[in-house]
Each structure stands twice: as C-alpha cells, then as structure tokens.
C-alpha cells in the first residue's frame, strides 16, 4: 500500500471490521492471508468512516463456483454504508466470466444504476482487483442534495465506471433516492445465494 494509506486488511485479522447487524467483531474467516465470506453472519463494514477516498480491494471467486445469474459468486462493495443490511451504494461483485445476467447487475456495475463499460472478469479462481475513487454526496443542513456521489472504478486495470454521478443509494426495485448522511463505513456483502463464498485480501484506502 502507499505510505499514506489506511490498511483495512493486511492478511492477519479483521480488527478493522465489524458486523453490520450488531457492531460486534467481524467473524468472517481469516485463513492464509485472506478472508472468506461467512454468509450466515451477514455483511461486515469498517470501524472507521470515510468521505472521499481511493480504495484498493482484491477479491476471488472460488474456482469451484456453481450457480447462475445473480446466484453465482455474488458479493458487493458498498462505498458508503448508510444503514443495516444492504443500505448504501453498491458496486457489484459477481462471477461474470461466463455467466449472463442483466447488464446493470454485472460485475463493476453501480448496481441497478450504471452498466460497466467493459466486462473485465477473470476466470473463477484468479484474484481480481478493484481500484475505486469515491466522492461522497453532499447535502445541506435541510437534507437537500447539493452534489451527487461520483465514482470511478477500475477492474483488473480496465476502466469500467468513469466518474459516474449516482442517482441515489442502491435499491433492488424502484428509483434510487438520496437520504442525507455524512462520513460512512465501507461495507462488504454476504449475499444470500447458495453459491460458494468469495475471498478478499489486500484492502487499503487513501482519504482524499
Ligand atoms: Mg451484490
């Protein structure tokens, strides 16, 4: 990591992470320098909160992945966790190497909002990188939106979101809306599908 980065996972433990549900220590499984999603325990998020930042994250779909569509290696990177569960702004993580799904739900999508510019997915079993630049939304005292969130995403070295303005927080059905918030944790998704869990490693952030 760069010398001014905050390391969020260095391969040893999840001391920078908590359970979204009850704020208890994160219990996903750390093993051999990586950690593996523990689906039944729900999402985890950083203890620290962030506004604008650069993030580096590495993730791996298991080589023995099964399932189809959104049920194949689904996780997600929430750039600001604005509440419990999946509240926030999700960049989709999914196996889209040889797996069809709706275009705004592919790997690298701003989920249900912005289609990625390319499919840069590697084969299951190979490590993949996300490098993200996040500009948080700004609100006035009354809660009105002053400026939308913006995101740039580079997946495995390929630009897939180019300074895209978000329409609001991620929703599965309906129109995204903004609700005022300040600095927020970064969150990872334990998606409820039946496919084998993903691994993560080498996560750091630089505040901007
Ligand atoms: Mg997801």
Q: How far is the CA of 11 from the centre of ligand 1 (A)?
A: 23
This prediction has a pTM of: 0.97
| Cα separation, 170 vs 78, whole angstroms | 9
Q: How far is the CA of 5 from the centre of ligand 1 (A)?
A: 26
Q: How far is the CA of 105 from the centre of ligand 1 (A)?
A: 8
Q: How far is the CA of 25 from the centre of ligand 1 (A)?
A: 22
| Cα separation, 75 vs 155, whole angstroms | 15
88-93, strands of its sheet edge to edge: 17-19, 44-46, 187-188, 75-81, 88-93
Q: Which residues contact 201 (CB under 8 A, 6 or more apart)?
A: 9, 11, 33, 34, 35, 58, 59, 60, 127
Q: How far is the CA of 141 from the centre of ligand 1 (A)?
A: 32
Q: How far is the CA of 3 from the centre of ligand 1 (A)?
A: 31
Q: How far is the CA of 93 from the centre of ligand 1 (A)?
A: 6
pLDDT tens-place string over residues 129-188: 999 999 999 999 999 999 999 999 999 999 999 999 999 999 999 999 999 999 999 999
pLDDT tens-place string over residues 67-100: 999 999 999 999 999 999 999 999 999 999 999 9
Q: What is the pLDDT of residue 118?
A: 98
CA 134, 124, 27, 15 dihedral sign is negative
């Amino acid at each position: 990591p760069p010398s001014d980065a905050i390391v969020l996972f260095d391969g040893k433990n999840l001391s920078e992470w908590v359970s979204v549900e009850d704020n208890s220590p994160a219990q996903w499984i750390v093993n051999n320098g990586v950690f593996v999603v523990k689906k039944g325990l729900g999402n985890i998020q950083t203890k620290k909160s962030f506004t604008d930042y650069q993030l580096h994250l590495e993730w791996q779909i298991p080589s023995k992945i099964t399932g189809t569509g959104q049920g194949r290696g689904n996780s997600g990177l929430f750039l600001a966790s604005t509440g419990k569960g999946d509240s926030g702004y999700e960049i989709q993580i999914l196996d889209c190497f040889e797996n069809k799904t709706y275009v705004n739900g592919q790997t690298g999508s701003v989920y249900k909002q912005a289609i990625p510019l390319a499919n840069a997915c590697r084969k299951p079993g190979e490590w993949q990188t996300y490098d993200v630049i996040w500009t948080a939304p700004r609100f006035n005292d009354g809660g009105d939106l002053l400026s939308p969130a913006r995101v740039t995403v580079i997946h495995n070295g390929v630009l897939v979101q180019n300074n895209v303005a978000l329409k609001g927080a991620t929703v599965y059905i309906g129109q995204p809306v903004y609700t005022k918030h300040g600095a927020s944790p970064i969150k990872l998704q334990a998606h409820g599908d039946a496919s084998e869990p993903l691994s993560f490693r080498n996560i750091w952030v630089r505040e901007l």
